[in-house]
Amino acid sequence: MMDRTWDATEALTAGRFVDSDHPDVQDFTRSTLAGVSDPHGRIGTLFAAVRDMFRYDPYSVSGHQDDYRASAILAGGPTWCVPKAVLLTACLRAAGIPTVLGFSDVRNHLSSPALLELMGTDRFVFHGWTAVLIDGTWRKGSPAFNTDLCHRFDVPPLEFDGTGDALLHATDGAGNRHMEYVHERGMFLDLPYDDMMTTLTSTYGSAMVRDGVGASHSDSSFHP
């Protein structure tokens, strides 16, 4: 949970979903980090790769457990905030950087009326992010929103190299309210899949969860 102090060994160990020992995750990490040796540079390079190479799609919420393994996400699985955080966590562990998953409930004040109607609430539960242990301190970063999406909605893309936290912006470029963090769910070594799915279905019913990897929706509005 949030007040738990994870040690470096625990936060480097592969998990069921954070399968940092999978050959595809190892290969992706190795190729992405070619020539990058500084720990902060390795964090920043992997963060940017996951942020931008995997287009954020909040309509890809899958009901299948195996879709949330980092190796499956890398192979074309769902790419909403939680799987992107799982993938980044696995890649950072593969790079030798202690990393855990974190979750919050948020309100996104730039969400479209159509999405809010579908959800039946303005609260987005289980927004996913990562936390790295660097220079003796846990630093948090959210790789959810790719750069192109940020530019479309006048929100600066997040940069994260572990020198400070990089969670979603409270306002957009015009000063309008953007993201409001309303509840912290804690930090975890691996994805708490059962708890997440129970919370999603109890909050949204079946509206946001597909039987497999969901198809992209025509609504491209900005939400977590």
CATH number, position 174: 3.10.620.30
Buried-exposed string 193-217: b where 16+ CB fall within 10 A, e elsewhere: eeebbebbeebbeeebebeebbeee
Q: Would you mind telling me the total number of residues written for the chain in this entry?
A: 224
What is the Cα–Cα distance from 43 to 48, expressed in whole angstroms?
A: 9
Report which of 90, 77, 72 is spatially closest to residue 15, judged by C-alpha positions.
90
pLDDT band, residue 120 (cuts 50/70/90): confident
Is 198 within a domain?
yes
pLDDT above 80 for 87? yes
CB 71, CB 3: distance < 8 Å: no
Number of helices and strands in the chain (H, E): 7, 4
What is the Cα–Cα distance from 206 to 195, expressed in whole angstroms?
A: 16
What is the Cα–Cα distance from 61 to 119, expressed in whole angstroms?
A: 13
pLDDT band, residue 218 (cuts 50/70/90): very low
Is 109 within a domain?
yes
Is 215 within a domain?
no
Is 183 within a domain?
yes
Pairing of the two strands 179-188 and 124-134: unpaired
In order of 29, 175, 184, 204, the CA distances from 48 in angstroms are: 12, 25, 24, 31
What is the Cα–Cα distance from 148 to 115, expressed in whole angstroms?
A: 20
| Segment 121-134 mean pLDDT | 91
CB 140, CB 130: distance < 8 Å: yes
pLDDT above 60 for 215? no
> DSSP state, 185?
E
Is 210 within a domain?
no
DSSP letters, 26-45, are HHHHHHHTTT--SHHHHHHH
- Percent pLDDT > 70 in the chain is 84
HSE toward the beta carbon, residue 125, CA cutoff 13 A = 16
Q: Which domain holds residue 96?
A: 10-204
For tokens 């996104």, the residue is 108
Is 211 within a domain?
no
Count of structural domains within the chain: 1
- Judged by DSSP in three states, 126 sits in strand
pTM of the model: 0.89
Is 118 within a domain?
yes
Is 221 within a domain?
no
pLDDT of residue 223: 43
In order of 111, 118, 153, the CA distances from 148 in angstroms are: 17, 25, 9
Give the tokens for residue 131: 């936390």
